[in-house]
Amino acid sequence: MSTLLDELSKKAQTLSVEERAQLAQELLESVERDADPDVQAAWEVEIAGRIAKYERGEAKLIPAEEVFAAARRLTR
């Protein structure tokens, strides 16, 4: 971690929960603004396709608890 990043991280930890949440949101939005437009467009197509598949009843849905449990088993 760079010195500046380390310093900012430590300072951010002193903020209230609400302030950290706001900072996190602002940072995520800045990353999204700087995203490659082609990548963003590809994600939008992927998301629309997944929504359509779900709405047609073609998607196999897996409860989050099962997904997280499987992920935990893989990391052990």
Q: CA 68 to CA 17: how far, in whole Å?
A: 25
Tokens describing residue 59: 């998607």
Span 21-65, pLDDT tens digits: 999 999 999 988 888 999 989 999 999 999 999 999 999 999 999
pTM for the structure as a whole? 0.51
| Long-range interactions of 13-22: CB distance < 8 A, separation 24+ | none
- pLDDT band for 76, please (50, 70, 90 cuts): confident
How many CB atoms neighbour CB 8 within 10 A? 13
